[in-house]
Structure 1
Amino acid sequence: MTDDTTPIATLFDRAKDYSKTTLKLFKLNAVDKTAEIVSSLFSLLVVVLTVVLSVVIISIGLALYIGKLLGDSFYGFFVIGAFYLLLAIILRVFREQWLKYPVSNSIIKQMMKPKKI
């Protein structure tokens, strides 16, 4: 039996196999990075939700305590509400440098981090 394939046909077959393998590798790397980023964001979300719940409970206790010192409980809630309003204004003003850029840089670093084998 003789091999009827020409060197050009063999070269095209190998190039086709190489391109398929490269595409599969690209897809697997994309899936790996996506899974890594999603899992990191999920763990961060769990921590943030725990902190938020703690802050809410502490805020209620502090508002009741301040209200007791000021003579009526709703005064404490006004004070705590004003504090959070001031905090929201400050965060709004500095959102680019305190929130947007660090989060963007973190995601980019996560995507560009070399894969550990």
Structure 2
Amino acid sequence: MIDDTTPIATLFERAEDYTKTSIKLAKLKAIDKSAEMVSSLFSLIVVSMTVVLSIIIISIGFALWIGKLLGDTFYGFFIIGAFYMLIAIFLRIFKEQWLKYPVSNSIIKHMMKTNRITE
């Protein structure tokens, strides 16, 4: 059997196959990164909600306890509220270095992590 394909035609076929494979790999990498980010976000939300609910319940308990010690329940709630106001002020002052940069760096590290598909 005689091979009718020219070297240029073979080169174009290989380039086309390479392009299709590269596009498929890019799609798989995007899917992998998306799935990783969504699963990380979901687990972070679940853990955060659990922590928030725990803090709320513990705060109510402390407020009632402090209020009982001081004689009126509302004193305890005022003290706990003032404590959270101080935390909010500190977070507002230091939001760049405590919140923004660590979150940005974490997202960048997740996005730049070597892909397991190519390995």
How far the C-alpha of 1:112 sits from its partner, in A, is 1.8
* Corresponding position of 2:88: 88
Q: Percent identity, please.
A: 74
Partner of 1:99: 99
* Cα separation, 2, equivalents of 1:36 and 1:94: 29
Give how far 1:107 is off: 1.4
Cα offset, 1:2, TM superposition = 4.1
State the partner residue of 2:50. 50
* SS of the residue 1:49 aligns to: helix
Deviation per CA, 1:7-61: give whole Å up to 9, x if none.
2122112111111110110110111011112111211211111111100000001
Cα deviation for residue 111 of structure 1 reads 1.8
> Which segments of 5 or more consecutive residues in structure 1 lack a partner in the other structure?
none
Aligned to 2:69: 69
| Cα distance, 1:97 vs structure 2 | 0.7
Alpha-carbon offset, residue 5 of structure 1: 2.8
Cα distance in 2 for partners of 1:69, 1:107 equals 46
What is aligned with 1:5? 5
Q: Aligned residues, how many? A: 117
Q: CA RMSD in A?
A: 1.4
Runs of 5+ consecutive residues of structure 2 not aligned to the other structure: none
Structure 1 moving runs of 4+ over 4 Å: none
1:113 aligns with 2:113: yes
Q: Distance in 1 between matches of 2:79 and 2:60?
A: 11
* In 1: Cα distance, 2:27 partner to 2:92 partner: 38
